[in-house]
A and B are shown apart, each in its own frame.
Chain A
Amino acid sequence: MESLFVQLLVIGIKILVILGVVLGLGAYLTLVERKVAAHIQRRPGPMVVGWHGLLQPLADGLKLITKEDIFPRAGNRFLYNLALVLALVPAVLVFAVVPFGPEFEVFGVKVKPILTDVNVGLLLVFALGSMAVYAIALAGWASNSKYALIGSMRKAGIIVSYEVVITFAVMGPVILAGTLSTYEIVQQQINQKLWYIWLQPIAFVVYMFAMLAETGRVPFDIQEAEAELVTGFTVEYGGIKFGLFPLVEWYVEVLSLSAIAVVLFLGGWSPINIPFLGFIDPLFFLGPLSPFVWFILKVALLFLFVLWLHWTLPRYRIDQITETAWKVMLPLTFVNLVLTAVLAPIVWR
């Protein structure tokens, strides 16, 4: 009885921590993005609200929440609101299977810093990822606007193409690790003393491409394409409802997919890796906190990389994006799969 209570308590705390961190961080990443963009563009960015604009996300949130809730006259109100829920929930749920660090013990209770270590974690990630397409398709349809519809169709086209690619891309690490559980994949990398990026560079690049495409980041941000479609499928949303879509797409999804990339390719919470020899930890002085810091550091690096691309590159056209997916990325992942199958025994030993 007591152990059940403790377990429930632990899970409750985990949920609260993850939700708080993800949504809070998501909001604050807007500030990070604005600052990064500003410095790339040689301007200071938000400076007025708080020190160096530190309170800007709060001000933005307040503004969005207090705005009038506008609804298109001939739209479908139920689907219109459902799209919001469908966008937010799966994106956040992905964090249920993201392992933030190794198992540790507090007050005699063993805690894995992962909400549910299901043995099909990766499957769950991509299943939830595909849910995003429903949100966008519904948002476009329920808005009863041509711009929104075109935007959502574009996005649906991209997701359909890149779902296939991303699934084949992660096959490599899965074969090497021999498991679908995210926690176990990291453990395997530590046991094998190998970050899978060393053996899977192709898969990693393909994964990054697919990640940009799925989250609608430049050069794949055609569903927004402010010059052509104004803001695509969110064009009829207003106030905080409008704010939620970019929050989910650009921050929460980028974060979750970056975290999965770190888990799959960059050895999760493990420090710097020398292939097959071991790990070097320059952050050893942090003691038990070091793995968590490593994890956050890697995710942050990937996120900054995405931002860097976003504020530098122009965008592709829809046919070019899908063409890249089917004609370049997919064959590449097949090649990678064959290579992995050949190389896998070296890693398994």
Chain B
Amino acid sequence: MPWAKEEDFLELKKKFKDLQIEVKPTITNLHIPKHELIELLKELKQMGYKLFIDHSVVDFPDRSPRFQAFYILYNVDERKRVVVKTWTDGTLPSIEKLWFAGKWAERECYDMFGIQYEGHENLVRAFMWETYQYHPLRKDFPLEGYANEYLPSLNEVMWGENLQGLMNYDRMHTPVPTLEDLEITEKRRLKKKAQLVLNWGPLHPGTHGTMWFLFDLEGERVVQCDVILGQLHRGMEKLAENEMYNQFLVYTDRMDYISALCSNQAWVVAVERLLGIEDLVPEKAKYMRTMMSELQRINSHLLWLGTYALDIGALTIFLYAFKEREKLMDIIEGITGARLTISYPRVGGVRMDLPEGALEVIKAFVKRFPKELKDWETILSRNRVWLRRNVGVGIIQKEDVYFYGLTGAVARGSGVPYDIRKFEPYDAYPWVEFDVPVGENGDVYDRYLVRLEEMRQSLRIIEQCVSKLEKMPKSAPFFAESPDPKKLKLPLDGIGLKVPEGEIYSSGENPRGELGFYIYSTGGVKPYRVKIRPGSMYNLCVYPKLMKDRVIADAVAVLASLDPVVGEIDR
């Protein structure tokens, strides 16, 4: 775990008298009073901790001050991570000047905890509508919400049908937004400057989900643009606080529903690291998890390629890609029993052993797939229409990667070799060989090439995993055994898995960027607070900047190249 050491901050200690450095095996915290926070962050940014990872708060209703805010930063050159923490009672200075991504994180905190940010340019709610009264992630907000709105069924209103028996549910519900509420939300987001405001979404084929874009258009040129999120908000973080560690695994499926296995893996590894049992997990399980999540990565990139080509008008590639994707789904289904929401890994290993013949099927796929990939490249990569639509569109500079907190293929397309699989290897990644492709110009075309190359690299990883797994005996364990079952119960179904006090930030390389989990545990079977770092959301936050002064036709190309998944953005 590449956390920063205490000696890295000795210089800072001289400058900031109140700075406290806390080094634990799972995390390195810098505690600072609120008034010195911005100064410290500035200093850290100059020291090289310039990639913004995440920011949120933890709510302690019994304490005063009540909220503990944390800022996770990363030093890409020295591969070190650090967490800055401060206490507050409801106000914080805004970091939007330092990191734009912080602006979105602050919106989310304002939405979920009601933290006021001083100096924030436009503090609006991130997910809920503007007239919503509560702050759902506060500990005093009940899990079931406040049912204070009378909402009878449509049948009851129109035909006076009385609902009987089990159908006779409660008419009182948690509030839902009305059209007026949505209008207020929209107005708060964007002040009209140009000819017309185009509502692009929430339901639109080009948005890859339920995102609501507002384009202020002058002719076809986008003057300004904003996003309204939250159409798919399910309160994952609230749910995580009320579920056991293993139960939350199934919710990670539903976050980035296209790459469920990778999300599962990231969560499982985070919990394992928190428990300190990473080394106990048998080698076979590690190789299996790695192989499966690489299959899922190809699967996810195929969906991206298909929809991306579809957005730019090449319908045929979409069907080609989906044909291959179908085969991958079949492989995954054969091994895990599920196609979309998989939940295959478990804390301590995987759910079940590989079925017979699975490796042969995967080998056949790995052998055939590069030919398909080459075919598609022949159709697209040097196609003049394709080049004109992609080259020079949506350029992200290297500095913007840090400023906007971009990760994943988007960061790599701009020439930042930020890959968690290399930087903080988990599972079998330290033992396999693969390259990290990076782009040069950071335009849409580079991101496209990076993702294509990533599929090839994934194939390499899968090949190595398969050859390793073939050599392993069939009886090799696929689940960890607890060294001391009295102290640490480690069942396959995860019931009774107790996690000691502690906190951790651990992340995995998802196809859509870094998916991180900040887990704060006060002991017991449930986490006290889980902050999910959605790669898609921070990747999306650069979008309004990229779309400035471009036309709508570029909107789809740029959006698809950022490749967001709403399930992960909204959580």
Which A residues fall within an 8 A CB radius of B? 37, 40-43, 146-147, 150, 153-154, 218-219, 221-222, 225-230, 311-320
Contact = CB atoms under 8 A, between A and B. Distances in A.
B495 interface: no
Taking each of B205, B309, B312, which has the highest tally of chain A beta carbons within 10 Å of its own beta carbon? Answer: B312
Given A314-B309, A314-B383, A41 B319 contact: yes
Given A150-B220, A219-B313, A227-B205, A320 B388 contact: yes
Interface string B375-389: 000011001011011
Q: Which 7 A-B pairs have the closest CB atoms?
A: A315-B313, A227-B311, A314-B314, A41-B319, A314-B312, A314-B313, A317-B553
A313 B385 contact: yes
Interface size class of B (residues with CB under 8 A): 20 to 34
B434 interface: no
Given A41-B316, A228-B206, A230-B205, A317 B551 contact: yes
B446 to A, nearest CB: 17
A226 B207 CA distance: 12
B310 A227 contact: yes
A279 to B, nearest CB: 36
Nearest to B386: A314
Contacts of A315: 312-313, 385, 389
Nearest to A157: B220
B283 interface: no
B315 A42 contact: no
Contact of B205 (A226, A316, A318): A226
Contacts of B319: 41-43
14 contacts: A37-B315, A146-B198, A147-B198, A150-B220, A153-B220, A218-B313, A219-B385, A225-B313, A227-B311, A227-B312, A229-B552, A315-B385, A316-B388, A318-B551
Contact of B206 (A43, A146, A218, A227): A227
Nearest to B559: A227
A150 B323 CA distance: 34
A150 B316 contact: no
B313 A312 contact: no
Interface in B307-337: 309-316, 319-320, 323
Tell me the interface secondary structure of chain B in the complex: helix
Interface in B509-567: 551-556
Interface of B: 196, 198-199, 204-206, 217, 220, 309-316, 319-320, 323, 379-380, 383, 385-386, 388-389, 551-556
Given A230-B205, A316-B388, 8 more contacts: A150-B217, A150-B552, A219-B313, A222-B553, A227-B312, A227-B313, A313-B385, A315-B389
Contacts of A40: 316
Contact of B553 (A218, A219, A312, A318): A318
Nearest to A38: B319
A313 B383 contact: yes
Contacts of A312: 314, 316, 379
A146 B313 contact: no
Contact of A314 (B220, B385, B551): B385
Contact of A42 (B323, B385, B389, B552): B323
B546 to A, nearest CB: 15
A228 B555 contact: yes
B291 to A, nearest CB: 28
B570 to A, nearest CB: 22
B130 to A, nearest CB: 23
Contacts of B313: 218-219, 221, 225, 227, 313-315
A186 to B, nearest CB: 34
A43 B323 CA distance: 10
A35 to B, nearest CB: 14
Contacts of B552: 150, 228-229
Contacts of B220: 150, 153-154, 318
Nearest to B555: A228
Contacts of A146: 196, 198-199
Contacts of A222: 553
Nearest to B317: A314
